[in-house]
Structure 1
Amino acid sequence: MGISEVTGRTRSMGALFAGVALLNTAMVGLTTAATLIVAAGSGAAWSGLPSVASVLGTAGGAFGAGLLLPVHGRRRVLVCGYGVAALGSLVAFTGALATAVLPLLLGILLVGVGNGGAQLSRYLAADLYPQERRGRALATVVWAGTVGALAGPALMAPAADAATGFGWPSLSGPVAVAVLATAGAALAAALLPRHIPLPREKPVTAARGPVRSPAVVRPLVAMVAAQLAMVAVMTMTPLQLQSHGHGLDAVGWVLSAHMIGMFALAPLSGRIADRWGPAVAVNAGLGVLALATATALAAPTAHTSGLPVALFLLGYGWNLVFVGGSAQLSRDLAPETRSRVQGTVDAVVWSASALAGLGSGQLFAGGGYGLVAVVGGVLALVPLVLLVPRDGR
């Protein structure tokens, strides 16, 4: 491998990592602040709208980016996507200043479009490496979500104080941070090399169309099931804690354990996928998700022990499935169809988040946290039964 190729790969990985970290930082702070703004102005019943807008924008952005990448290349698509996110954050900032819900939601939708491109960055990282190293490469970019998970909440209070000092509404501060973060992501994408030699690939053959092939169906079903189970249990856990008299400190502690599980161990998941195959990582993740829901069911009020463990396992089970499924989609698809299929899968997975967020509330209202945990466990186990691989992949 030549020096220029190594330099181009390193530069590409750095730019992809920075873009994802900055977009995640923007999304965490923006959606949290917007949820509080909408709840204060329109009532708690409408407080879920910012989350729905971000999920729908991400799904649309992932699908669109998947179609555009083969035509226009990773640099141009990511710069445009992050530019849309920067524009959206500015629109959201005007909404936060005026406490106007519609521009706030429109802005979040546009930021979500850019986030869809950020999600596909893991596949772009995988393409830079030979097949036996793709799990670790994409896991490195997934790990960038740790930065957003930590930086987003940590910046909220200082940003709110700074906004108050300027005479703005305090919650406009985190939205202003999103403006800076999305602009930084666009700059990072602009630093991507225009051309970098990609490693040679083994020929990929499939007896059926790419969307119906096992190389797509298996990771798609597993990733959707993991997303449904994870989002449903995670969304209802704060309500479960509050209904038993626990304050925001307990909620924050449990959700922090969950976020660490979701992102911090991504490199380990990548090594598992590379060493033993993507199917092993996916099946292990589904098993961990089932264990997590069983733990939540067994200790639904243990805010210092059972629930933090359950939510950590919930996050890491999702991570194993996400990294393993993504590794299979980066390895077992022909280059000419890969981006389109990857974008379609991401769009379906993110759409599942909206379904899980809405459905979990109905389950909680009808049968409590226990019913949510049981349904989450069933969702995790179903792919293990239906999608037993017939080969070593």
Structure 2
Amino acid sequence: MSHNQKNSKAWLQSYVDSPEKQQKLYRRTLFIVVMSQIFGGAGLAAGITVGALLAQDMLGTDRYAGIPAALLTFGSAGAALLIGRVSQRFGRRIGLAGGFLTGGIGAVGVIVSAITSNIYLLFASLLVYGAGSASNLQARYAGVDLAKPAQRATAVSIAMVSTTFGAVAGPNLVDVMGRFAVSIGIPALAGPFILGAAAFLFAGLVLLAFLRPDPLIVANALADRQVIDKSQPIEKQSSNLAINNRGIIVGATIMVLTQIVMTSIMTMTPVYMKHHGHGLREVGMVIGFHIGAMYLPSLVTGILVDKVGRTAMAIASGATLLAAGILAASAPSDSMLLLIVALSLLGLGWNFGLISGTALIVDSTHPSTRAKTQGTVDVLIALAGASGGALSGMVVAQTSYAGLSFAGGILSLILIPVVIWSRSNQKIKEIS
């Protein structure tokens, strides 16, 4: 064994042997993840806000204005798969930092495409920019690697709350960045991507410099130690594996369904409001409340998921989304208050589903396969969001906004039998 390998084993063993060092690293990891998420949220929101407008401006038509959102989503889905696999092999630090830095390069490409009026470069760059979005979502798992079972949902919620600061700041800096861009001879709509590039690159550098020792590598070593200590019989191990597979299916189903329902109704609400005479200010207010409800309740949700249980909060997610769909379907088109309440409930139901589903995935995976599984699940979430957004327009065209909202509410009820199925033959251990 080489000197380097001995040193590597020694530092890792020092964490395995010391619960105090593990908790210290857990708190440090959460702090670093929070820092990266604040910047990552700003980069994500700034780009999404003006991507469609930039394409519209460069093409001179709004026929293809939906392409940037689709490219971002597909880029995010592909990157989620890669980040999960790279993280599994080399650790969270390399996987997440690589995703953010790639997203930053994509943002630089968008700026260059705006200066040169190259639409093909714009579309290619938006695809690459999606990697930053994937890292932003997967970073929530890094804070959970060293969390005790009863801390997991709370750790996820801390990462999500920190994303809010950037996500709220990003769109509000669009005008400022637009004026700054013009002052240095760049088209105004490329301005927010200057912020996006700086934010993603900074988030990547923070993780690259400070996310060490790597939480996933330490979690893997801890899991290996537990297997040696407990050395279970083969029958017991295979029984646990079945429970884990079921937990992964249930966690993924919860997150995919909530993503479809939330994205489809959210996508068509601005269109519905515009058709009924609401201005951009009112649309911005409703979507602002919606985004706030998606992230701000996270800390409370995390504590509830840890204390009340994953199952109860997944059922609460289905019930909240049903209430949102029924209210959005029945609210008079001129009632701002009811639309705000409906979209806030929609965000809250999504929040319940994402945090309870994420906690279930972490509960049901071994660190040796966890990052790869999480990456695959995040691909499904990204594709569910893209499908929900794309199909929502068709549903409204065939029926109405009320028809879409009602259908979304009914679809969310599937969560309840899925959760009951998960409890049927072999009860998944509930953390409470």
For the superposition of Structure 1 and Structure 2, which TM-score range results when normalised by the shorter chain?
A: over 0.9
Match of 1:163 in 2: 181
Aligned partner of 1:279 among 304, 307, 311: 311
Match of 1:330 in 2: 362
Q: CA deviation at 1:378?
A: 1.7
Kindly indicate whether the alpha-carbon contact (under 8 Å) linking 2:314 and 2:419 is maintained by their aligned counterparts in 1: no
**Residue 193 in 1 paired to residue 247 in 2?**
no
Q: CA deviation at 1:209?
A: 6.4
Which shows bigger deviation, 308-317 or 59-68? 59-68
**Cα distance 1:3–1:332, how it changes in 2: closer, same or farther (>3 A)?**
closer
Aligned partner of 1:114 among 119, 132, 151: 132
Aligned partner of 2:202 among 184, 189, 205: 184
Find the aligned partners of 2:166 and 2:374 in 1 and give their Cα distance: 23
Find the aligned partners of 1:212 and 1:75 in 2 and give their Cα distance: 26
TM-score if structure 2 supplies the norm length? 0.86
Letter in 1 for 2:410: V
Matched residues, percent identical? Answer: 26
Match of 1:298 in 2: 330
Letter in 1 for 2:213: R
Provide structure 2 residue ranges, at least 5 long, that are not aligned to the other structure.
1-17, 228-235
Q: Rg bigger for which structure?
A: 2
Q: CA deviation at 1:38?
A: 1.0
Find the aligned partners of 2:376 and 2:412 in 1 and give their Cα distance: 21
Find the aligned partners of 1:207 and 1:343 in 2 and give their Cα distance: 25
Find the aligned partners of 2:204 and 2:101 in 1 and give their Cα distance: 6
**Residue 55 in 1 paired to residue 87 in 2?**
no
Find the aligned partners of 1:195 and 1:257 in 2 and give their Cα distance: 36
Q: CA deviation at 1:6?
A: 4.6
Classify the secondary structure of the residue corresponding to 2:213: coil
Quote the RMSD (CA, aligned, Å): 2.1
**Cα distance 1:4–1:336, how it changes in 2: closer, same or farther (>3 A)?**
closer
Letter in 2 for 1:352: A
**Cα distance 1:126–1:385, how it changes in 2: closer, same or farther (>3 A)?**
same
**Residue 83 in 1 paired to residue 115 in 2?**
no
Letter in 2 for 1:117: S
Find the aligned partners of 1:95 and 1:364 in 2 and give their Cα distance: 34
**Residue 19 in 1 paired to residue 19 in 2?**
no
Q: CA deviation at 1:303?
A: 4.3
Find the aligned partners of 2:280 and 2:243 in 1 and give their Cα distance: 44
Residues 237-269 of structure 1, C-alpha deviations (whole Å, 9 max, x = no match)? 000100001100110000001001100011111
Which shows bigger deviation, 244-253 or 31-40? 31-40
Classify the secondary structure of the residue corresponding to 1:84: helix
Match of 1:67 in 2: 85
Q: CA deviation at 1:55?
A: 0.9
Match of 2:50 in 1: 33
**Cα distance 1:273–1:200, how it changes in 2: closer, same or farther (>3 A)?**
farther
**Cα distance 1:60–1:365, how it changes in 2: closer, same or farther (>3 A)?**
same
**Residue 368 in 1 paired to residue 400 in 2?**
yes
**Cα distance 1:300–1:189, how it changes in 2: closer, same or farther (>3 A)?**
farther
Find the aligned partners of 2:366 and 2:201 in 1 and give their Cα distance: 33
Provide structure 1 residue ranges, at least 5 long, that are not aligned to the other structure.
none
Q: CA deviation at 1:212?
A: 8.5
Which shows bigger deviation, 345-354 or 195-204? 195-204
**Cα distance 1:53–1:300, how it changes in 2: closer, same or farther (>3 A)?**
farther
Find the aligned partners of 2:413 and 2:176 in 1 and give their Cα distance: 43
Residues 339-370 of structure 1, C-alpha deviations (whole Å, 9 max, x = no match)? 22111111011111111111001011111101
Match of 2:172 in 1: 154
**Cα distance 1:354–1:325, how it changes in 2: closer, same or farther (>3 A)?**
same
